[in-house]
Chains A and B, each alone.
Chain A
Amino acid sequence: MAAVTVLEAVRGALAEAMERDERVLVLGEDVEAGGVFRATDGLAKRFPGRVIDTPLAESSIIGVSIGLAHYGMRPVAEIQFADFIHAGFDQLCSEASRWCYRTCGDAWLPMVVRTPWGGGVHGGQHHSQSIEAYYGHMPGIKVVVPSFPADYRSLLLAAIDDPNPVLFLEHKRTYRLIRQELEGAPAETVIGRSRIVRRGDDVTVIAWGLMLHESLAAAEQLAAEGIGCTVVDLLSVQPLDRETICEAAKATGKVLIVHEDTLTGGFGAEIAATIAEHAFEFLDAPIRRLCGPDVPAMPYHHAMEAFFMPDRERIAAAVRELAAY
């Protein structure tokens, strides 16, 4: 079997889910024509009536999905860019996340909201955003952030099968950049687990999305220099796999958290706090965060974009500093 891209893994999982369960529907802007990233390419023809174009209105997409899910369908909504999801924040935060809680389980919502996030495509301030910190702060919604095609496939299928709202974040820069042979590749099927993808003795790096791949590239480079990295693919923001995070932190005693999102209040803060609370005695250095700078959004020009985003060189530099601490 040939290696597949992230995008092909997503598209394949959607088709697989629609094939095996006729309650599964896809809705969003431009999805009938295949979507702006082509994630739904060919689905409208293959599953007539089950791929539904919506008006350009994110609150509608999420609010209607809530209704569909409550009724017993399994909607998979696409928000064209994560940056635009906030118009539906109310529907996610005030409604979807509390549906089960506020009825004591009398009602629940098997729904998925997929959306491309992250920078690196010259998308400027409104096509580059990281949103995991906003939505990871909301018990009642699961937030999934895969990095490898095999996990994209298995976790999207798990998200569609889940009886709860799942926000499924797809890093847009990796859509066509990252390929993987699915057969034999590790594929997480349970939402809420992280995975240690590389083991080394000196420094633990925790990342997700494009930054996970940059971290692995840095780890490869550092190995040649004699610095060993343990690398954690976070996979899920909510629920957070505190056990695996702490196990990885204890393995080296030195932790670097890398994310594209801005530093203050970014999800790295929650991870750092978790390690500080539960693995303090094992630490040999302060927990470090390598993140976007505290400016409102990622700027457009490629020079400023590159400045904003951490990369393998900066990750390697941060690891060297920690290793030497």
Chain B
Amino acid sequence: MASATNSETAGGAHPGYPLTRAQLLQMYRYMVLARRLDERMMTLQRQGLAAFVIAGVGQEAAQVGAAMALRPGVDYLAPYYRDLAVNLVFGMTAREAMLNALGKRDDPNSHGRQMPAHWGNRERRVVTQSSVVATQLLHAAGIALGARLRGEELVVFASCGEGSTSRGDFHEALNFASIHRLPVIFFVENNGYAISERTEKEMAVPHVADRGRAYGIPSAVVDGMDAVAVYQTVKAAADQSRRGGGPHLIEAKCYRLWPHSSDDDDTRYRPRAELEEWAKKDPLVVLRGRLMEDGVAADGELAQLEAEVEEEVREAAQWALRQPDPAPEDALGYVFKEGG
């Protein structure tokens, strides 16, 4: 499923788009799937069935647009906690996402050992992440250096929020990757808020991209509410990086339509008028409108797709709720890897 979205588009691109009709529908499908999963997880949390949710609502265009420009199975992801949709493109299923949300024993990410949305899957080349922000950007540089030494052609997609860009590891990673001209795509999902702090409290320059340029890294700002624009920007950068062009930084300007997490009350710090203004640019609504307007798909076809996703998510949640929890003593073990 994932690989089909990344097949070459030569000859088959839909007029006015860099993607085929099938890819555009797939793009929309991933975005809807991520949204419905987040909504279902929040419902489960409100019902007392899940302890915690941290969602990517409002950031689906940035995430799916970027991830579809990569090569699952070849490229590495060093994601951050909001990147559910990125992981879906890299092969995570709705059922797996639900196991993760519920901290179930068989969650492939951490088997209930980490909070939800802390991704990791070695086989899919998704690097395990912690709750500490920006640390993963150095891991990305190390993987890229390893690939360079081994002669493997790939890019490492390292994402974070704009809040992370104030941490030392962000700056150290940009510096290191730039010195060695490593194939890393630093993808910053600037959703306007680090919990309650607006970007003005996080940095004295208008764009994260300004910070990238200080390290000699080509840095672009893209409309993160536009999945196709993000796809094009990331694709161009990744193609260059792959061929030895060094790292790129892409800042996707988007918006966090939900509170920081299920534990956050954003009415204490965020004006409702601002939220309503951004809600008009909801990336799902925007893409849906474009697909119909440009003759990619009719309303009925999209409605059917949405119904299928709805059912997929409903079934995944029901299934995941029935899966075993970890045993208490599963807290032990795997402190060290055995053997060599």
Contact = CB atoms under 8 A, between A and B. Distances in A.
Contacts of A52: 145
Interface size on A, as a range, is 35 or more
A90 B170 CA distance: 13
A184 interface: no
B128 A103 contact: yes
Nearest to A98: B130
Nearest to B76: A71
Given A63-B172, A98-B130, A163-B340, A105 B142 contact: no
Contacts of B128: 99, 102-103, 106-107
B135 A70 contact: no
Interface string B76-113: 00000000000000000000000000000000111101
A60 B175 contact: yes
Interface in A213-234: none
B168 interface: yes
Contacts of A67: 127, 138-146
B4 interface: no
Nearest to A111: B142
Interface in A46-103: 49-50, 52, 54-55, 57, 59-60, 62-73, 75, 87, 90-91, 94-95, 98-103
Contact of A103 (B122, B143, B145, B338): B122
A265 interface: no
Given A55-B176, A59-B172, A107 B120 contact: yes
A60 B176 contact: yes
A188 interface: no
A115 B130 CA distance: 25
Contacts of A65: 142
Given A94-B130, A94-B135, A104-B113, A63 B121 contact: no
Contacts of B142: 63-71, 75
A162 B338 CA distance: 9
Nearest to B140: A67
Contact of A63 (B108, B122, B138, B179): B138
Given A67-B144, A164-B336, A25 B149 contact: yes
A101 B132 contact: no
A186 interface: no
A88 to B, nearest CB: 10
A55 B175 contact: yes
B139 A66 contact: yes
How many interface residues does chain B have, given as a range? 35 or more
A59 B169 contact: yes
A140 B109 CA distance: 18
B335 interface: yes
A108 B128 CA distance: 10
Given A57-B175, A163-B339, A63 B141 contact: yes
Contacts of A50: 149
A90 B175 contact: no
A139 interface: yes
B114 interface: yes
Contacts of B121: 106
A140 B113 CA distance: 15
Contacts of B137: 63
A163 B338 CA distance: 7
Interface string A99-133: 11111111110100000000000000000000000
Given A64-B138, A104-B334, A70 B143 contact: yes
Contacts of A60: 138, 141, 172-173, 175-176
Interface in B118-165: 118, 120-122, 127-128, 130, 132, 135, 137-147, 149-150
Interface of A: 25, 49-50, 52, 54-55, 57, 59-60, 62-73, 75, 87, 90-91, 94-95, 98-108, 110, 139-140, 142, 161-164
Interface of B: 108-111, 113-114, 118, 120-122, 127-128, 130, 132, 135, 137-147, 149-150, 168-169, 172-173, 175-176, 179, 333-340
7 contacts: A67-B140, A70-B127, A70-B139, A100-B336, A102-B110, A102-B128, A103-B128
Top 9 closest pairs, chain A to chain B, by CB: A67-B142, A63-B138, A71-B146, A108-B337, A64-B142, A67-B139, A163-B337, A67-B143, A60-B172
